[in-house]
Structure 1
Amino acid sequence: MSTRRPALLDLDPAVVRRARRLARTAGKPVVDLAKAHTTVSVERATLRLAGLGGADHEGTPWVNHLVDAVRSGPGLEHGVTTPVWDALRRGEAPDLLTLAQKASSGGVAFRLPEGRDLTASRKAARSAVAKGIRAVDAQRRTRERMVAKIGDAPRTPWIYLIVATGDIHEDIPQAQAAAREGADVIAVIRSTGQSLLDFVPEGATREGYAGTYATQENFRLMRAALDETSRELGRYVRLTNYASGLCMPEIAALAGLERLDMMLNDSMYGILFRDINPIRTFVDQRFSRQVHARAGIIINTGEDNYLTTADAVESANTVTVSQLLNEYFAKEAGLEDWQLGLGHAFEINPDLPDSFRMELAHALLARQLFPDAPLKWMPPTKHMTGDVFRGYLLDGFFNLVGAMTGQGILLVGMMTEAVVTPWLSDRDLALQNVRYVMEAAGGLTEDFHPPRDGFIQTRARQVLSEAVDLLDEIVSDTSTRGTAHPQPLLAAIADGTFGAMKRPPTQGKGLDGVVVKADGYDNPATTLLEEGATR
């Protein structure tokens, strides 16, 4: 995907370099922390890549049973795969599924092998997991062939539309209709609360609240339907879901196996807005982003959410700080610029004087800081009042900023936001709004140049300066603590720096699923993904 170059803001290159350097300084201790830990979800994702799927009669996945059995035996400190393939080599079961079934009833004695048994078990595990990595590679090649053969979206930004009925079989025709009306990306919103489930539901689902469950079968069904529509329309229609929550690594693996194209995958969203333990989140996130890098998946980050709980003017710098951190974490995991759908949003109170000019400044700042990233531009939601006429106008202004600043991925705003779940007719009107603005004003990126040292340039520089100051404060650890902290970013999250949410690293959901790696820890998925990070 190409991004059009924006009008320049005359930012000081030294300030930009300092911002990235500080983000790296803040982020590196977190990466080191992630490398020193594993989680139950990372280990389950590895088993999924090795081919283990399915669930028992109560819906508990076999990967959960097998990981829990190993954890209660030799533990996960050395990784789940070594004890599992040792058991297979010892003849405890003829295959991985049968082993998981026996283990679920306590019928397998796991151990940590030594010597030649250790070497052989690890070799067998690597061979099994490598098949899953090759399947992810094959899906990436399939996407590339389809785009080359069928064609791609004819313009940027890509038009991103949400579908979410709770029933995958209802989602499919709605998604196909949206694509026919001009949507380039279909996002299937997850059922409310799925991010807090420590297992991935199984099979095609027909009951979800305010969304549809993310399952491998639902991924497969929607991808097949959109492939059919892509051939019909002569352009590849992309599919999005959510690699977040307690099963982030597993959902990332399933997305790679079923050829999803984008995944919501923010560095701090689950911590701040779902109260998931920070260490669990950062460990899971690094693995999931390694999978996305290998699969050729574009990530979408969630900076827009900060502005739903904090003021969009006063806290604009926190969005920029989060974008810089997301960029660092993503690139460290192997993602490239074209895969960084960094988020930001049109959330300033429209009653404020110069609100539109400030929105322009913020959007231009993001566009200039990340010129090669397909930024994901989010529509107004916080200040939608139920007045559909006012809402439609606000969405038009949002679309206009997107046109003027060359955003890469534009989520379609709904005039019925905060009133009802949108009808198909609402989506059609919203798409008409986007089409009109893009056709009438899509070339404004070539013409729009804010005056030197005018309001827009001054505001953008102010936000960048405040972002640098905040990063410096985080790294220096001088905000409220006054003493050095080994994990300054975790301390800042605990202090409520982002989204006004205080989340200490010793609390939060999923902490009990975090495991410190022992010397000799082995995970063939991580090894294979890191070997292929520079494809």
Structure 2
Amino acid sequence: MSPTRPAPVLDLDPAVVRRARSLARKAAAPVVTIAQSHTTVSVERATLRLAGLAGADHERIPWVNHLVTAVRDEVGLEHGVTTPVYDALLRGEAPDLTTLAQMAASGNVSFRLPAGREAAAARRAAAKGVGAGLGRIDAARRTRERLVRRHGDPASTPWIYLIVATGDIYEDIPQAQAAAREGADVIAVIRSTGQSLLDYIPEGATREGFAGTYATQENFRLMRAALDDVSKELGRYVRLTNYASGLCMPEIAALAGMERLDMMLNDSMYGILFRDINPIRTFVDQRFSRQIHARAGIIINTGEDNYLTTADAVEAAHTVTVSQLLNERFAKEAGLEDWQLGLGHAFEINPEIPDSFRLELAHALLARQLFPDAPLKWMPPTKHMTGDIFRGYLLDGFFNLAGAMTGQGILLVGMMTEAVVTPFLSDRDLALQNVRYVMNAASGLTEDFHPPRDGFIQNRARQVLSEAVELLERIVADTDSAGDAPLLAAIADGTFGLMKRPADRGKGLDGVVRRADGYDNPAITALDAGVPAKAARR
């Protein structure tokens, strides 16, 4: 994606910007070290999914869950799951992964940690098996790039991002195609309520989601095929988004890569703050998932907009900037490039505040200028939508105008029925009309909008950046009291979104395992090595 890049319009001190990024790197570094020294049950399950293990038992519990649990109970996961699994296959315990998992579920197979030549043979076999899944991801990336060349991208930015989620994948498909025909460039299928807290991925096509549709491999495949059909019809490539977050973040990322999703919601702290998932579990899982996204050519969307639903959008504006800087650092360490960083921010200032629109412009311009090569994801008002659909429609128009004036990359369509009902198709059509009118009338304002050097907008942006640097300085300086990872202490203290999340608590902590010497995971080995862009696109 080539984001709209207005000429710099904020007189920011380059030294302050460099200082902010340097502090973000220092704050993130100990957390990266933790992620590199631990694994999780979901990382190990994702690795076996890359090797081709799929399917579920009669209760819809995936075979991969049964196999990882059996290995963990018998020999632990400290050395990785693949070595004992492929050792069992080489010893003739079962003819394939699926049969092995089925036998493990009933306790009819034994696992061990092999040594010497047997260990080397198991690792070679595992690398070959997992390599097939990575090859499938590479092929999906090449297919996307071929289809983009054939059908073309949207004629201009921002890309129009619209949510579809009825709970029934077979209802989602025609709604998604209709939305694309009405102008949507990105279709997001939000997940069923609570799926982020399931420690397994449901199997197959689903029709029973609640306020969303379950994220499954088959649902991914069905929706991607439907959008391919409408892309051909419209002559532009329509992108598909889902959520790589929660307790199965690495697995969902792997499935998304293999099924050619184009964007994934993937925030380094969202699951910690808003789903009470253990911080270490989250950081380990997000590093693996982002490495998958990097290889797959997937654009991530981060979740800074969520902070402003729990904290005040003016007082906490600097925490959004800090999170953006941290998300950028974690993403780049995992191999993502600038064009893949859909860093989040939102139009959530109380409209009753004097100069609220000017404040929104200052915050949006600050994000745009700090990350000039990133396709920023601009989120519509939700917190201050009252149920008055006429007021809401006007507020969404102001949001769209701010996006046009500040060169945002991905614009989520705001709904006037936000906080009232799940939007009808007619609501989406009216919302898209709002976007089209504003973009047709005002998209060129990025060339003309230059706030006065020392005016209200300039000074507000400088203030937010200065407060972000001060917060990062406090986080980094807290090493003595926080131990090795002061960012974890800041999260525990409620620094972000007013949510206090200690590192020794939270859902999924029991699924975190410290790696032993000799830990082996062929997916991580390949992903750590990196894949040159040319190789992935051949």
TM-score by length of 2: 0.98
Query: In structure 2, what is the Cα distance between the partners aligned to 1:462 and 1:157?
Result: 27
Per-residue Cα deviation, 1:278-337 (whole angstroms, up to 9, x for no partner): 000000000000000000000000000000000000000000000000000000000000
Equivalent of 1:510, from 498, 508, 511?
508
- 1:352 matched to 2:353: yes
Corresponding residue for residue 286 of structure 1? 287
Corresponding residue for residue 526 of structure 1? 524
- 1:98 matched to 2:99: yes
* 8 A Cα contact 1:334 1:533, kept in partner: no
The offset of 1:484, in angstroms, is: 5.0
Query: In structure 2, what is the Cα distance between the partners aligned to 1:457 and 1:5?
Result: 18
**Percent sequence identity over aligned pairs:** 83
Look up the SS of the partner of 1:483 in the other structure: helix
Query: In structure 2, what is the Cα distance between the partners aligned to 1:136 and 1:212?
Result: 23
* 8 A Cα contact 1:167 1:206, kept in partner: yes
Q: Report the RMSD for the aligned CA atoms in angstroms.
A: 0.8
* 8 A Cα contact 1:266 1:302, kept in partner: yes
- 1:2 matched to 2:2: yes
The offset of 1:528, in angstroms, is: 1.1
Equivalent of 1:501, from 492, 499, 502?
499
Corresponding residue for residue 329 of structure 1? 330
Look up the SS of the partner of 1:245 in the other structure: coil
Matches within 5 A, 1:246-257: 246-257=247-258
* 8 A Cα contact 1:343 1:378, kept in partner: yes
Look up the SS of the partner of 1:515 in the other structure: strand
- 1:456 matched to 2:454: no
The offset of 1:483, in angstroms, is: 2.9
Q: 1:245 corresponds to which letter in structure 2? A: G
Matches within 5 A, 1:345-424: 345-424=346-425
Matches within 5 A, 1:231-242: 231-242=232-243
Corresponding residue for residue 148 of structure 1? 149
Query: In structure 1, what is the Cα distance between the partners aligned to 2:530 and 2:95?
Result: 31
Query: In structure 1, what is the Cα distance between the partners aligned to 2:163 and 2:102?
Result: 38
Corresponding residue for residue 66 of structure 2? 65
Corresponding residue for residue 536 of structure 2? none
Query: In structure 2, what is the Cα distance between the partners aligned to 1:75 and 1:297?
Result: 32
Query: In structure 2, what is the Cα distance between the partners aligned to 1:327 and 1:38?
Result: 22
The offset of 1:226, in angstroms, is: 0.2
Q: 2:83 corresponds to which letter in structure 1? A: T
Q: 2:423 corresponds to which letter in structure 1? A: P
Equivalent of 2:485, from 473, 487, 506?
487
Corresponding residue for residue 128 of structure 1? 129
Q: 1:492 corresponds to which letter in structure 2? A: A
Query: In structure 2, what is the Cα distance between the partners aligned to 1:520 and 1:483?
Result: 32
Look up the SS of the partner of 1:499 in the other structure: coil
* 8 A Cα contact 2:482 2:489, kept in partner: no
Query: In structure 2, what is the Cα distance between the partners aligned to 1:96 and 1:529?
Result: 22
The offset of 1:530, in angstroms, is: 1.8
Q: How many residues in Structure 1 have an aligned counterpart in Structure 2?
A: 532
Corresponding residue for residue 110 of structure 1? 111
The offset of 1:533, in angstroms, is: 4.3
Q: 1:5 corresponds to which letter in structure 2? A: R
Query: In structure 2, what is the Cα distance between the partners aligned to 1:108 and 1:483?
Result: 48
* 8 A Cα contact 1:290 1:533, kept in partner: no
Q: 2:58 corresponds to which letter in structure 1? A: H
Corresponding residue for residue 445 of structure 1? 446
Query: In structure 1, what is the Cα distance between the partners aligned to 2:459 and 2:529?
Result: 44
* 8 A Cα contact 1:264 1:299, kept in partner: yes
The offset of 1:4, in angstroms, is: 2.0
Per-residue Cα deviation, 1:30-67 (whole angstroms, up to 9, x for no partner): 00000000000000000000000000111010000000
The offset of 1:2, in angstroms, is: 1.2
Per-residue Cα deviation, 1:456-493 (whole angstroms, up to 9, x for no partner): 00000000000000000001118xxx735211000000
Query: In structure 1, what is the Cα distance between the partners aligned to 2:115 and 2:53?
Result: 25
Query: In structure 1, what is the Cα distance between the partners aligned to 2:5 and 2:107?
Result: 60
In the TM superposition, structure 1's runs of 4+ consecutive aligned residues that sit over 6 Å from their partners are: none
Q: 1:77 corresponds to which letter in structure 2? A: E
TM-score by length of 1: 0.99
Q: 1:99 corresponds to which letter in structure 2? A: L
The offset of 1:532, in angstroms, is: 2.5
Look up the SS of the partner of 2:248 in the other structure: helix
The offset of 1:534, in angstroms, is: 4.2
Look up the SS of the partner of 2:242 in the other structure: strand
Query: In structure 2, what is the Cα distance between the partners aligned to 1:204 and 1:516?
Result: 35
- 1:77 matched to 2:75: no
- 1:318 matched to 2:316: no
Look up the SS of the partner of 2:75 in the other structure: coil
Query: In structure 1, what is the Cα distance between the partners aligned to 2:52 and 2:181?
Result: 35
* 8 A Cα contact 1:476 1:484, kept in partner: no
The offset of 1:265, in angstroms, is: 0.2
Q: 1:396 corresponds to which letter in structure 2? A: G
Corresponding residue for residue 433 of structure 2? 432
Query: In structure 2, what is the Cα distance between the partners aligned to 1:226 and 1:258?
Result: 12
Q: 1:144 corresponds to which letter in structure 2? A: E
* 8 A Cα contact 2:308 2:316, kept in partner: yes
Q: Unmatched 5+ residue regions in structure 1?
A: none
* 8 A Cα contact 1:333 1:533, kept in partner: no
Query: In structure 1, what is the Cα distance between the partners aligned to 2:211 and 2:96?
Result: 38
